[in-house]
Amino acid sequence: MSKKHPIISVTGSSGAGTTTIKNTFDQIFRREGIKAVSIEGDAFHRFDRAAMKAELTRRTEAGDHTFSHFSIDANELETLEGVFRSYAETGTGRTRHYIHDDREAAVRGTPPGTFTEWAEFAPDSDLLFYEGLHGAVKSDGIDIAGLADLKIGVVPVINLEWIQKIHRDKASRGYSTEAVTDVILRRMHAYVHVICPQFTHTDINFQRVPVVDTSNPFIARWIPTHDESLVVIRFRNPRGIDFPYLTSMMQGSWMSRANSIVIPGPKLDLAMQLILTPMILRMISESKRA
């Protein structure tokens, strides 16, 4: 952690909705005139698409049915930790981009399924923003969580998370339901042992809970809307959080525990703006004083 060069980390699994949360952060940065450098968790995968496919085949033939992008050894987390440490100490670092599809390929000039070259961060940034799978990992000699100043967990209840992933992968990647189900099953071991423990270290968790039937996510025809959801917001340290103010500003919200509030789904963006904006401004103020 570094007051002079703060780091914000948003972490959640594939299909959790971290990209939507990133859009809210981008709005805050733009409105408040904050210069942020952003890095994506996908940039720190150890393998490109072709190499990952070959590695999956090799592991499966060797009897390992748990290896996936969620796994520690499928990612260069030592490199990610080094980027966090470099930025915290000097405000510098480097990243690259993983190219997911033809649209990104046209923008970056690199084929889908490959990485761009590493590039240095733009100078004189106010903070570093990370969004991905492993932003609060603390295991196997790696302590990424300890280097981030503000850690946000995005954690829909698991059936909703699966519905979101199935619909996204079918729509944007052309996968069948069966193919996505195979991916989910392969990822379960690392989901339990790598992804879930991170939410113990996050400062704030946003968990969307549908209030419609999601009992069989593999046959769901549509994703529950925000109107059909509640969001549980949990603060690891509730000291200093003005809960009466927050509940008064969001009609239909209430406190469910001493460190948690529940809000209607459509109020998520407003809740993030109300909660995160003062936190970010405080970080920037302390950074400038440092």
Count the alpha carbons within 13 Å of 128 in the hemisphere toward its beta carbon.
35
Look at residue 2 and tell me whether its pLDDT is greater than 70: no
- Cα–Cα distance, 136 to 144 (Å, whole number): 6
- Tell me what percent of the chain is helix, strand and coil, each rounded to the nearest 5: 45, 20, 35
Q: Lowest-confidence range among 179-183, 262-266, 277-281? A: 179-183
Task: Work out the mean pLDDT of the chain and round it to a whole number.
Answer: 93
Mean pLDDT of 256-275: 96
Q: Where residue 20 falls among pLDDT bands split at 50, 70, 90?
A: confident
pLDDT confidence of residue 288: 87
Mean pLDDT of 236-248: 95
pLDDT confidence of residue 226: 93
With the CA atoms of 27, 145, 1 and 18 taken in that order, what torsion angle do they form, in degrees rounded to the nearest 10?
A: 0
Q: Where residue 202 falls among pLDDT bands split at 50, 70, 90?
A: very high
- Cα–Cα distance, 249 to 245 (Å, whole number): 6
**pTM of the shown model:** 0.93
Give per-residue pLDDT as tens, 81-115. 999 999 999 999 999 999 988 899 999 999 999 99
